[in-house]
Structure 1
Amino acid sequence: MSDYKPPFAVRDKIKKRYNRNAPVFQRMDHMMKPSWREKLLEKCSGDVLEIGIGTGINIPYYPSSVTSLTGVDFSPRMLKYARKAVAKHSFPVKLMEEDAENLPFASESFDVVVTTCVFCSVPDPVQGLNEIHRVLKPGGQLLMLEHMRSETKLLGKFMDIINPAAVRLSGANINRRTMDNLEQASFVCEREKHLLHDIVRELHCKKKEDTDGSI
C-alpha cells in the first residue's frame, strides 16, 4: 500500500463537489457513447479494478471473462448510484469508498485497471497513475476512456482559458495533459484512438517495465 498522504483540503473540496453534483453526473454519464464504453471494456479479463466507478454506468459492459470487479470512488453519494446499478445485474462487484491517489491494495493485485473520465478530476493525476502502476500485475493493462487537452494549438489555448470556469462548475479539468502524465508515471501507450477530435481518447497502456525491461 502507498504511504502517500493527499492534500486533505483539496481532496475534501472536490469530494464535496462530486457529492453535491452526483445526480447531475448520473445524467451526464449518458453523453459518452455506449459503443465507446463497450469497445474499451471488451478487452477486460481476470481481476479488474475500476478507478472512479462513479454511478456504475460501466458495469453492464464488462464481459464474462472478468473474474472479479472492484470499483472505487471517493464520493459516497456517487457510490449510492453505483449500488443501484450493481443490484440490477448478477455480476459480482465490490464497491469501496477510496482515494485514487492512495489505494488500499497490495502491489501487483490486478490484471486490468479501468478509468473512464476520471483523470480530469484526480487532484494529483501523476500520483494517481503511480498508484495504478503499483497495483497492476506484470503484463497488466491500463484501459482508459478520457477527455484531455487538445494538442491543436488554438483549441488547447482556449481550453486553458476556460478551464477555471469548468472546474468551478463541475470539478473537472478540461485541459489535463494526460499523455504527459502517463509518461511521468512510467506507462507506455500501446494503442491510442481519437474518438472526439483529439479531446476524447481511448488508451491502452502498459507499465514501461513490461515493454522495454526498465522503468
Structure 2
Amino acid sequence: MSFLSRFSRTQLIIGGLLTYATGVSAALTFLPSSSSPDKKDGNGSFPSETTRQSTFDSLAPGYDKEVGMHEYLLGIQRRRKRLVAQATGRVLEIASGTGRNVDYYKKGCCDEIVFSDFSEGMMKVLREKVEGSDLGKRWDYQKRRVQQLELERIAHHSTRLVQVQGQGVPPGAVGGVTDGSGSTAGDGVVETEIRFKTMNAAAIPYPDQSFDTVVDTFGLCSFEDPVQVLREMKRVLKPSGRLLLLEHGNSHWEFMKNMQAKQLDRHVHKYGCYWNREIGELVREAGLKVVEQERSQLGTVFYIIAE
C-alpha cells in the first residue's frame, strides 16, 4: 500500500489546498520582488500617497486574478461574505477597490450602497463588475420597473382625470391614484440604490450620521492616516450604526512580526499596503468601540465589528 493510498480523496484535497495555501503565503512573505527591496521614492522614504494611488491604478486590471486564488485558499472570501452579510440600511463601502465584496451583498439587504475608492483605475474595474453582477442586474431591473410603474401611474391618472372631468367632478377632487391593482404605484419594488464615489476617505464628503453601515475591507493598510479615516467613518455613522472591518495587521507571533517588518518596504512598493499596522490600537485611538473581533492567518487578518 502506497503512502497516499492511506488517505481518502477528501483528505488529500484538503491537504493539497492547505499545502498550496501555505506555499502561497510563504512566497508572498519570503520571496524577493522583481524590484529592488531598497527602492525608495526621491527622498528615501516610503512612497507618497500620490505614488501609491498610481500603484493601485496600475494594479487594477489584473488585481482580481493575482489575489483571487490566494483569498479563496486562505478563507478570505468566506470572511468577506460573513462580514458583508451584516450590512443594512444605507451603506458606505470605503476602499472598494475592484469590488471584491460586490457578490456578497444579500438581496434586499440595503436601501443604498455607495461604493468608493480614491483610485480611478480601481473604480473603473469596480463599475464594470457591478454592472455584470447580480446586484447590478437587480438594480437595473429596479430602475426600469420603477420607471414602468411611474408611466403606468401617469397613464392611469390621465385616464381617470378624463373620466372624472366628463362626470363634472373638479380635477382637484381626484384622490390617491393607484396602479390599477389596488396598491399605489411602486409598492412591492425593493430598491437598493447603487452609487459610485471617487473620494479621499480621510475627508468623506457626506454629512455627520449619514450611514447605517460603513464597510472597509483591507483599506486601513493603504491609507496615509488610518486613524483620521477611522474617525471619518465614525463621524458619518448613525448613532446605532456599525463599522465592519476586515484588515491586514501586525501578527501576534514574533517570528511573523519580524517577517512583516523585514518585507514591509517590498510590500508597500508592490501593493501600496502597510501590512503590519496595529489595527486594534488604531480602532481604539479613533474612539470606536470594538464589539466583536477575531484574528486569523497567524494573527495577520483582523475581523472587527465596531461602533
Please classify the TM superposition score into its range, dividing by the shorter chain length.
0.7 to 0.9
Q: Distance in 2 between matches of 1:162 and 1:57?
A: 25
Aligned-residue CA RMSD (Å) = 1.5
Identity %: 28
| SS across alignment from 1:187 | coil
Please, which moves more after superposition, 157-166 or 43-52?
Answer: 157-166
Number of residue-to-residue matches in the alignment: 198
Q: Distance in 1 between matches of 2:232 and 2:67?
A: 25
TM-score, with length taken from structure 1 = 0.87
Any conservation in 2 of the 1:18–1:75 contact (CA below 8 Å)?
Answer: yes
The structure richer in strand per residue is: 1
Residue 216 of structure 2 is aligned to residue 172 of structure 1: no
Q: Distance in 2 between matches of 1:54 and 1:170?
A: 12
Which residue number in structure 2 is paired with residue 18 of structure 1?
56
Residue 81 of structure 2 is aligned to residue 43 of structure 1: no
| SS across alignment from 2:228 | helix
Q: Distance in 2 between matches of 1:29 and 1:162?
A: 18
Which residue number in structure 1 is paired with residue 220 of structure 2?
119
Deviations along 1:77-121, one digit per CA (max 9) or x if unpaired, are 111111111112224321111011111010110011001111110
User: How many angstroms does 1:162 deviate by?
Assistant: 1.3
Q: Distance in 1 between matches of 2:274 and 2:220?
A: 8
Which residue number in structure 1 is paired with residue 211 of structure 2?
110
User: How many angstroms does 1:24 deviate by?
Assistant: 3.1
Residue 104 of structure 2 is aligned to residue 61 of structure 1: yes
Residue 123 of structure 2 is aligned to residue 79 of structure 1: yes
| SS across alignment from 2:304 | strand
Q: Distance in 1 between matches of 2:198 and 2:101?
A: 17
Q: Which runs of 4+ in 1 moved over 3 A?
A: none
| SS across alignment from 1:120 | helix
Deviations along 1:182-205, one digit per CA (max 9) or x if unpaired, are 011001111112232211121111
Which residue number in structure 2 is paired with residue 199 of structure 1?
300
Any conservation in 2 of the 1:53–1:73 contact (CA below 8 Å)?
Answer: yes
Which residue number in structure 2 is paired with residue 142 of structure 1?
243
Any conservation in 2 of the 1:48–1:110 contact (CA below 8 Å)?
Answer: yes
**Partner amino acid, structure 2, of 1:68:** E
Q: Distance in 2 between matches of 1:85 and 1:170?
A: 21
The structure richer in helix per residue is: 2
Any conservation in 2 of the 1:29–1:57 contact (CA below 8 Å)?
Answer: no
Consecutive unaligned residues of structure 1, counting only runs of 5 or more, are 1-8, 207-215
Which residue number in structure 1 is paired with residue 264 of structure 2?
163
Q: Distance in 2 between matches of 1:13 and 1:102?
A: 19
| SS across alignment from 1:174 | coil
Q: Distance in 2 between matches of 1:136 and 1:28?
A: 33
| SS across alignment from 2:243 | strand
| SS across alignment from 2:270 | helix
